[in-house]
A and B are shown apart, each in its own frame.
Chain A
Amino acid sequence: MKLHLHDISFAYDHDMILQNINCSFVSGNFYSIIGPNGSGKTTLLDLISGFFNPCKGSINIDETPLLSLSKKEIAKKVSLVSQDYIINFPFSVKDVVMMGRHPYIPRFSHPGGDDIKKVGKVMKACGIQHLSDRKINELSGGERQRCVFARALCQDTKVLLLDEAFSNMDINHTLQMLGLVKRSVKEKNTLVISVLHDLNLASSWSDELLMLKKGEIKASGHSQDVLTQHTIKDVFGVTSIVEFNEHAQAKQVYYPSI
C-alpha cells in the first residue's frame, strides 16, 4: 500500500501552513516527521486523516483520492492518535477503547464477540487492562494517552498516524508502545507516520525521517542522511553533535552544554 501526497498546500485564512508538499509513504515502514513548533507537522497529519482538506493538491491511498472516500471509509484505512486526549465526559476506559471499533459496528447494534476480543487483546498489549473500569477523566496524562493509543490500535487500520503520541508517557511505556507499532509495521506490513520531538527516538525507531520547516520539506530519507549537524542547525537553529551510536544502532544527536 502506498500513500501519496501530490503538491499539497494548506492555509488557515491567509497564513500558509504547508507549501507544495510532495512525498510518498510506503507500507512496511515507520516514518517520523520532525521539525520545530509551528512547522506544519500536525497539519500534515490532519490532512492525511481527512480532518482538513488541502487547499491545493491531492492525497491518494493506492490511487484512490482521499476526497472521494466518506469519513467512515477513511476511518477504516487511517487511524490517528491526536493531541486532544482530554475527554469531556466520564466514560470508562473500556468504553473509550471500544469507540475504536465504531467504524465497524453498524448503527443500533452492539459490539460483537470479535470486537470485545479485539479490545481485550489491545488493552492487554498496551498495559491498561487493570484500568478497564476506571473513568477516563480520572487518569493521569500518560495513562490517558495509552488509552487513546489503544483506541487507535483497535481501529485496525493499515495507516496509523501518531501526533506526539508519547508526549506524556514515561520511557518504559514509550518504548513498549513504539515496540508494539514497529512490530505491526514489520509483521502486518502497516504504515506508521509519527510526529516526534525526540530526535534520538525518531532516529533509532524510524525507517525514514521527514524534516519540516515553515511548511516545507527540508530533508527526507534515511535518518543517516537526514540527521546532520548542518540540517539540525538549519531547521532547529541549534548547535549539535551528530554521531553514530553502537547501542542505538542509529545516529544520535547530542547538544553541547553552554
Chain B
Amino acid sequence: MILISLSMGYIHIPMMDIISILYGKTISNLQILDNTSETYLAVIFDIRLPRILTCAIVGAALAVSGSLFQGILLNPLADPYTLGVSAGAAFGASIAILLNLSAAFVSVPAFAFTGACTTLFLVLFLSYSSKNPMSGLSSNNLILSGIIVAAILSAGISFLKFIANEQVSVIIFWLMGSFASKTWLDFWVVLIFLMIGLFISIFFARDLNLISLGAKSATSLGVDLKKITIILLVTGSMLAAVCVSVSGIIGFVGLLVPHTIRFITGPDNRKLIPLSMIAGAFLLLFADTITRAVLPHEIPIGVLTALTGGPVFCWIFKKNRFK
C-alpha cells in the first residue's frame, strides 16, 4: 500500500509540474518553431519529456540513495559519493571516452556503471575483515576505504585527462553532468532501478532506524546488522551508479535533500526516504529547468546544483547548529 501510494504520488506530483512547464515552453517556442502541432509533439515527446522525466527520476534516486547512505554510515553528511561510487563511475566513463568507445553510445554509461560497481566491491572488500566481521563494516572503516579508493581514482582520472588530447573536453563535460539528449530508454532504466531500490529501502526502513542506535543495540533488538548493511549499501550504490551512468556526476542532491527533509520530518526513515525521493525529483527538475530554459547558455547541471546547493546547505547547517 505504502509503495503504491508513493509511486502514485511521485509520478503525480512531478507530472503536474511537467505539464505546466511544458505548457509554458510550447507557448514561448511558438514563434521559433514552425506553427505545426506535429513539431510540438515531437519536441515534447522525443526531447523534453524524456529529459524531464529522466531528470526527475535521477533526482529521486539520488535522494533515496543519499538517505540510505546517511542512515547506514550514521553520518548526516554522508552522500552517495562518500564510498567512491562516483569516482568509480567517472573513471569508467573517462576510459570509455578516451578509448573512443563513445561511438557506440551505450558504452559510456555501461563503463560508468561497471566502474561504480567495481569500486563498491573494492570498498566493501577493503573494510571487511573476516576475523572480526562485526566491526569490519563499521561506518568509519567504510568511509575511510571510500575516501582512499576515491582519491586513487581521481588521480587516475587526472592522468586520463592528461593523456587524452582531443577528448579532454568531452571527459570534462561528461564529468560535470547533464541531462541533454536523454532518451526514453534512460528514463525506464532509472525508473526500474528506483522502484527496486525504493521497495528494498522501505522494506528495511525500520531496521535502518534501529541501526542509528548503535551496532550492539540494533543487534540486541533483532537486526541482522551485517546482512542489512550490505543489502542497503548495495542498493544505495546501485542507485547512485545508475544515476551517474545516465547523467554524469550531480553533486549535492544526495546530501542536501535528505538532510533538509530530516529537519522537517524528523529522522524516521519510513517518512524520510519517500519524502526525500519526492523532494529530490523536484529539486533536480527545478535545477535542470533553470539551466535549460532560464539561463542564456545551458550550463552543466552538476555545476549548478553544487553552486546553488552548496551555499543553501551552508546556511541550513549553520542555522541549525546554533538554534
Residues of A within 8 A of B (CB): 12-13, 46, 49-52, 70-76, 78-80, 82-92, 95-96, 99-100, 102-103, 105, 107-108, 148, 151-152, 155, 161
| CB-CB nearest in chain B for A89 | B267
Given A99-B209, A102-B206, A107-B206 in contact, is the A89-B220 Cβ separation under 8 Å? no
**16 pairs from A and B in contact (CB 8 Å cutoff):** A50-B219, A50-B220, A51-B134, A70-B222, A70-B224, A83-B216, A85-B217, A88-B76, A88-B212, A89-B74, A91-B212, A99-B210, A99-B213, A148-B217, A155-B220, A161-B220
**When the two chains form their complex, are residues B216 and A89 in contact, meaning their CB atoms are under 8 A apart?**
no
**When the two chains form their complex, are residues A79 and B220 in contact, meaning their CB atoms are under 8 A apart?**
yes
**When the two chains form their complex, are residues A78 and B220 in contact, meaning their CB atoms are under 8 A apart?**
yes
Chain A residues with CB below 8 A from B2, complex form: 108
**When the two chains form their complex, are residues B76 and A87 in contact, meaning their CB atoms are under 8 A apart?**
no
Given A51-B216, A99-B210 in contact, is the A91-B268 Cβ separation under 8 Å? yes
Given A99-B221, A100-B221 in contact, is the A49-B216 Cβ separation under 8 Å? yes
**When the two chains form their complex, are residues B210 and A80 in contact, meaning their CB atoms are under 8 A apart?**
no
| CB-CB nearest in chain B for A42 | B216
Chain A residues with CB below 8 A from B267, complex form: 89-91
Chain B residues with CB below 8 A from A46, complex form: 216
**When the two chains form their complex, are residues B222 and A76 in contact, meaning their CB atoms are under 8 A apart?**
yes
Given A12-B132, A100-B221 in contact, is the A89-B262 Cβ separation under 8 Å? yes
Whether B266 is near chain A, meaning CB under 8 Å from some CB there, is yes
Whether B24 is near chain A, meaning CB under 8 Å from some CB there, is no
**When the two chains form their complex, are residues B217 and A95 in contact, meaning their CB atoms are under 8 A apart?**
no
CB distance from A148 to the nearest CB of B (A): 7
Q: Bound complex: CA of A248 vs CA of B195, how far in Å?
A: 63
**CB proximity to A under 8 Å, residues B11-37:** none
Q: Bound complex: CA of A75 vs CA of B216, how far in Å?
A: 12
**When the two chains form their complex, are residues A92 and B266 in contact, meaning their CB atoms are under 8 A apart?**
yes
Q: In this complex, which of B134, B212, B220 has the most chain A Cβ atoms within 10 angstroms of its Cβ? A: B220
Q: In this complex, which of B131, B132, B267 has the most chain A Cβ atoms within 10 angstroms of its Cβ? A: B267
Q: Bound complex: CA of A103 vs CA of B75, how far in Å?
A: 25
Whether B311 is near chain A, meaning CB under 8 Å from some CB there, is no
Q: Bound complex: CA of A91 vs CA of B262, how far in Å?
A: 10
CB distance from A104 to the nearest CB of B (A): 9
Chain A residues with CB below 8 A from B213, complex form: 84, 87, 96, 99
CB distance from B240 to the nearest CB of A (A): 21
Given A87-B214, A107-B203 in contact, is the A71-B131 Cβ separation under 8 Å? no
Q: Bound complex: CA of A152 vs CA of B216, how far in Å?
A: 12
**When the two chains form their complex, are residues A51 and B220 in contact, meaning their CB atoms are under 8 A apart?**
yes
| CB-CB nearest in chain B for A74 | B222
Q: Bound complex: CA of A83 vs CA of B214, how far in Å?
A: 9
Given A12-B132, A51-B220 in contact, is the A91-B215 Cβ separation under 8 Å? no
Chain B residues with CB below 8 A from A85, complex form: 214, 217
| CB-CB nearest in chain A for B203 | A107
Given A52-B134, A82-B214, A96-B213 in contact, is the A103-B268 Cβ separation under 8 Å? no
